[in-house]
Structure 1
Amino acid sequence: EWLPTLEVHQMCGRAGRPGLDPHGEAVLVGAADTRDELVERYVEGEPESVESTLADPASLRTHVLSAVATGFAETESEILDVFEGTFYAREAGAGGLADAVGVAVGALVSADMVRRETAGGVDDYRLAATQVGETTSRQYVRPETGERIVGGLRTAAAMSNATTLTAFELICDTPDMQDTYLGNEERAEMYRFARRHAGVLTTEMHETDDFEQWLESVKTARILDEWIDGATVEELVEAYRIGPGDLDSRIERAEWLLSAAEALADTIGVGVPSVSRARSRL
């Protein structure tokens, strides 16, 4: 499958150090019989059109929360005014987002990220971020991630045996953590691992909306837990078929999400020492 032309141009554009190198060099590598198509696609070809993702429901919830939490908007109308200055509005007009913004606000209210403060009549209200919503926005995590972490923290706080694996599973089962491929050959072993450690996981198997995705998050959590216990990069690459660069990116994301979890724990007033232990050992 061919990479998008825009993506290749972006990578090639990183060649050379601005202000230090007079020019940069990028090399396209491919099979001999693809030379002409490589040139046609990536040297002579035009990049694909850029499309805004603002209208995507998950993206929209994040931006709506940000607009409310930062005080830029207190009503749905003001949220649309904020979006008038976006690339999406330039392409399609922010007015088309009116219904979607209403849905996003409703979802944020249900997630306890935003509250409606009635000013007079039933329809006369202003929007304000809750403490959880403010912390979620400040930590730059998606509302869905914040909601999942808060729920996981409350579950972990009620445990008497929460471990660093608990902390990692809590943050890995969020949309802000990258997926880790789970091969057919390791699925059964990961299932057995999850059953053996069910007592320290914040999600029960029968509660998952997407079992396969959750099992992938358990794999990521297991990798991170073994990493802080002293496993080497080579051992993890061999055992879990994960590239060294992919491991680095997951460790980096784990540090960010554990930091967000600590902040959210302070916000809701629960203590989960395993989160801080996991972060300090990364």
Structure 2
Amino acid sequence: MKLSEITPPDFLKVTNNNDFTLYDHQKEAVLKLRDNKNVIVSVPTASGKTLIGYISIYDTYLKGRKSMYIVPLRSLAMEKFTELLSLRDLGLKVTMSIGDYDVPPSFVKNYDVIIATSERADSMLHRDPDILNYFGLVIIDEIHMISDPSRGPRLETVISSMLYLNPEILLLGLSATVSNIHELAEWMNADTVISNFRAVPLETGIVFKNNLIVNGEKKHLGRDDEVSLIKESLESGGQALIFRNSRRNAEKYAQSMVNFFDFQNDLETLEIPPDLFNEAQANMISHGVMFHHAGLSNDQRTEIEKLFREGYIHILAATPTLAAGVNLPARTVIIRDITRFSDGYSKPISGIEIQQMIGRAGRPKYDKKGFGYIYAASAGMFHVAEGYLTGELEPVISRMDSNSLIRFNILALISSGIARDLKGIEDFYGKTLLAVQNDIDDYGLSFESAIYFLTDNDFITEENGVYNATKFGRLTSDLYIDPVTSLILRKCLDLEFSEELYLYYISKTPDMITFNYRASDYEYMEEFLDRHNINDFSEESMKAAKTAIILNEWISEVPINTIADNFGIGPGDIQAKASSADWISYSLYRLAGMFDKLKENSLLHLNIRVKEGIKEDIIRIIEIPQIGRVRGRRLYNNGFTSVEAIAGARVEDIARIFGFSTKLARDIIENAGKLNKRYYR
């Protein structure tokens, strides 16, 4: 069946008037959705799942309803937003909502398609569950992420909320890897569409003892093992993606590839921003090789991904997190490690992760075939690798059973009005995957314990079995933070304001992922705790102390690479912790509005400084668009110490400063003028 036979004529604008034949699974899923059935689609990567979503979104739009597209990661949200912008050609208004949990969800009224992370979708329902009445379709991409301990519970809560509050909303779940799809379908009252079809056929095999073994047949590779497979791929115009189990291994592997390959990239021609990479990294890129992991800065990762997509990076050594993030396919994928060090032990990587990595093999439109290989270092690992390629994947399981999540969700249910008594709470949980996979009656004690905690700490009140959120409880729920985080921040407000001390308590909250410490860190961490009269030397407190020290360096404008080198961490780690501390410091500012208004201004400034990584004196300057911590400081140090001074500057005076072009100088002066007028209006 052609695309034009199943869609309105104008839909072809989305495909540049390319009227191709639909795959069977695409046609089946679209027709089931048009029959008002929820659908879960499980097909391999790059086999057209997104088109099913496009068609269904347009169907929903023509009915006058809105669609939400939920993804697990911010990077995926930005990628999906770029893709879905093509729907604007059909008149749809598309937006993305991934960050500020405190923005009222009423903005959805102004758009037809909202791309959101599961956390953002959940936070919107915390504030106003009635927004579900606007939606006719919700697409859940990577639905197998329900099994993820950190993100899964939020996603399951969102889906459960829709099933409980508005079962008329059509649900479309998408995944390449779901072994217990029928159990998920039972939970979601959905039909299934299952296919093993791949747009680009995939060859899988195992590299073991200098041989490649595919379907029982051996091919001798020689001493270089997988390097010969990489050479074979590159010589025919392909690229190679190598997965390593740690940042260090990814970096070492990329460096080793410099000895085998040199594509002689001219860094000036590539127009890579100056000082973005150090000398060793720049040398790798010049050879057409690089690594990718979360320790790199956001700008570094973005540039590496761009260079890989454009074909300048031919070999990319990455950690498994890349497979769950942005879409970077390659002709050849080699999984070099199948174990990972976790909780003090070396453990096999999950089958779902392995399939996600192998699924990156084969570039649609470029490759006639993809190659996905697993490296086995021993006979035991060979058998493990065989299991990955032939065995069944782990089932998707609910992660909603922890006491902290139950406490968090019950406060949200009461605050939003979804549940007012114990029966309402039990009814909601009866709609979860947790209830499908377990006896929900077994959680009665956990529910009662959470209610006791929330009542005892002034988050909710109880009268005749009916629960209501207090102002404190409602604010905590709206801020989308753990009630324990809210208690720690509330107690922090009783202390005299000190940047370092408040950063310590921000870092001590359960919503903050802290830095690990080493034996060599003890001296300065203990000195920090002594300086602030903190007598808690537990592991949790020591981690919070190290994190607070690093955050203090960040807001003191110490260069990010200097911080990274001094503490043995990556620039991306600093940005990730600052992003987390940004929201918690904002929550602290909001709580001050309720409990200590005298600290509001100081805490607002602290929040801005954590967000931007700046000192107090350039807070106003960085309000100018295109000005961040580095440009703001350069302007200040060159005598432009206020928005007013910048607005009145000459273009040539700004353009003289390092890093400022004539065009940038002109834009900054214009924007400063607009900002200045707003101040004095």
- Measured against the shorter chain, the TM-score band is 0.7 to 0.9
Cα pair distance change 1:110/1:277, threshold 3 Å: same
Cα pair distance change 1:163/1:250, threshold 3 Å: same
Normalised to the residue count of structure 2, the TM-score between the two structures is 0.36
Task: Give the C-alpha shift of residue 47 in structure 1.
Answer: 2.8
Q: Is the 8 A contact 1:258 1:279 kept in 2?
A: yes
Task: Give the C-alpha shift of residue 179 in structure 1.
Answer: 2.3
Q: Does 1:177 align with 2:545?
A: no
For residues 82 and 112 of structure 1, what CA distance do their matches in structure 2 show?
23
Task: Give the C-alpha shift of residue 214 in structure 1.
Answer: 0.8
Question: Which residue does 1:259 correspond to in 2?
Answer: 586
Residues 114-125 of structure 1 mapped to structure 2, 5 A cutoff:
114-116=460-462, 118=463, 124-125=464-465
Of 446, 459, 463, which aligns to 1:100?
Answer: 446
Residues 129-278 of structure 1 mapped to structure 2, 5 A cutoff:
129-155=469-495, 159=496, 162-196=497-531, 198=532, 204-206=533-535, 208=536, 211-272=538-599, 273-278=601-606
Question: Which residue does 1:280 correspond to in 2?
Answer: 608
Gaps of 5+ in 1: 119-123, 199-203
Q: Is the 8 A contact 2:564 2:570 kept in 1?
A: yes
For residues 111 and 250 of structure 1, what CA distance do their matches in structure 2 show?
28
Task: Give the C-alpha shift of residue 107 in structure 1.
Answer: 0.8
Of 432, 435, 455, which aligns to 1:89?
Answer: 435
Q: One-letter code of the match for 1:54?
A: M
Q: One-letter code of the match for 2:534?
A: M
3-state SS in 2 of match to 1:205: coil
For residues 603 and 373 of structure 2, what CA distance do their matches in structure 1 show?
44
Question: Which residue does 1:48 correspond to in 2?
Answer: 394
Task: Give the C-alpha shift of residue 256 in structure 1.
Answer: 1.2
Cα pair distance change 1:174/1:26, threshold 3 Å: farther
Q: Is the 8 A contact 2:413 2:419 kept in 1?
A: yes
Task: Give the C-alpha shift of residue 13 in structure 1.
Answer: 6.0
Higher strand share: 2
Question: Which residue does 1:201 correspond to in 2?
Answer: none
Q: One-letter code of the match for 1:240?
A: F
Task: Give the C-alpha shift of residue 185 in structure 1.
Answer: 1.4
Q: Is the 8 A contact 1:5 1:48 kept in 2?
A: yes
Q: One-letter code of the match for 1:180?
A: F
Which of these two proteins has the greater Rg computed from alpha carbons?
2
Residues 67-82 of structure 1 mapped to structure 2, 5 A cutoff:
67-82=413-428
Cα pair distance change 1:31/1:234, threshold 3 Å: farther
Q: Is the 8 A contact 2:358 2:373 kept in 1?
A: no
User: Comparing 102-111 with 88-97, which one deviates more in the overlay?
Assistant: 88-97
Q: Is the 8 A contact 1:172 1:221 kept in 2?
A: yes
For residues 575 and 371 of structure 2, what CA distance do their matches in structure 1 show?
24
Cα pair distance change 1:44/1:85, threshold 3 Å: same
User: Comparing 240-249 with 221-230, which one deviates more in the overlay?
Assistant: 240-249
For residues 372 and 349 of structure 2, what CA distance do their matches in structure 1 show?
15
Q: Is the 8 A contact 1:108 1:114 kept in 2?
A: yes
Q: Is the 8 A contact 1:167 1:274 kept in 2?
A: no
For residues 248 and 49 of structure 1, what CA distance do their matches in structure 2 show?
33
Q: Is the 8 A contact 2:374 2:385 kept in 1?
A: no
Task: Give the C-alpha shift of residue 83 in structure 1.
Answer: 0.8
Q: Is the 8 A contact 1:84 1:93 kept in 2?
A: no
For residues 498 and 362 of structure 2, what CA distance do their matches in structure 1 show?
45
Q: One-letter code of the match for 1:5?
A: G
For residues 501 and 366 of structure 2, what CA distance do their matches in structure 1 show?
47
For residues 385 and 369 of structure 2, what CA distance do their matches in structure 1 show?
18
Task: Give the C-alpha shift of residue 127 in structure 1.
Answer: 0.6
Q: Is the 8 A contact 1:205 1:211 kept in 2?
A: no
Q: One-letter code of the match for 2:556?
A: D
Q: One-letter code of the match for 1:216?
A: K
Task: Give the C-alpha shift of residue 58 in structure 1.
Answer: 0.8
Larger RCO (CA under 8 A, 6+ residues apart): 1
Residues 9-88 of structure 1 mapped to structure 2, 5 A cutoff:
9-10=355-356, 32-33=377-378, 36=382, 39-88=385-434
Q: Does 1:5 align with 2:351?
A: yes
For residues 142 and 76 of structure 1, what CA distance do their matches in structure 2 show?
20
Higher helix share: 1
Cα pair distance change 1:47/1:231, threshold 3 Å: farther
Cα pair distance change 1:149/1:26, threshold 3 Å: farther
- Alpha-carbon RMSD across the aligned residues, in angstroms, is 2.9
Task: Give the C-alpha shift of residue 278 in structure 1.
Answer: 2.0
3-state SS in 2 of match to 1:180: coil
Cα pair distance change 1:28/1:66, threshold 3 Å: farther
Gaps of 5+ in 2: 1-345, 613-681
Q: Is the 8 A contact 1:153 1:170 kept in 2?
A: no
Q: Is the 8 A contact 1:144 1:175 kept in 2?
A: yes
For residues 23 and 264 of structure 1, what CA distance do their matches in structure 2 show?
57
For residues 22 and 222 of structure 1, what CA distance do their matches in structure 2 show?
49
Q: One-letter code of the match for 2:552?
A: D
Q: One-letter code of the match for 1:223?
A: I
For residues 484 and 514 of structure 2, what CA distance do their matches in structure 1 show?
16
Task: Give the C-alpha shift of residue 193 in structure 1.
Answer: 2.3
Deviations 1:89-145 (CA, angstroms, capped at 9, x unpaired): 1111322221210111001112211111x2xxxxx2311111111111111111111
Q: How many residues align?
A: 262
Cα pair distance change 1:214/1:38, threshold 3 Å: same
Normalised to the residue count of structure 1, the TM-score between the two structures is 0.81
3-state SS in 1 of match to 2:597: coil
Deviations 1:211-241 (CA, angstroms, capped at 9, x unpaired): 2211110110110110111112221122212
Cα pair distance change 1:278/1:24, threshold 3 Å: farther
Q: Is the 8 A contact 1:261 1:275 kept in 2?
A: yes
Cα pair distance change 1:15/1:113, threshold 3 Å: farther
Q: Is the 8 A contact 1:57 1:104 kept in 2?
A: yes
Percent identity between the two aligned chains = 25
Deviations 1:31-67 (CA, angstroms, capped at 9, x unpaired): 7558735743544443323332322111110111111
Deviations 1:141-185 (CA, angstroms, capped at 9, x unpaired): 111111111111232xxx2xx232233112111011002111111
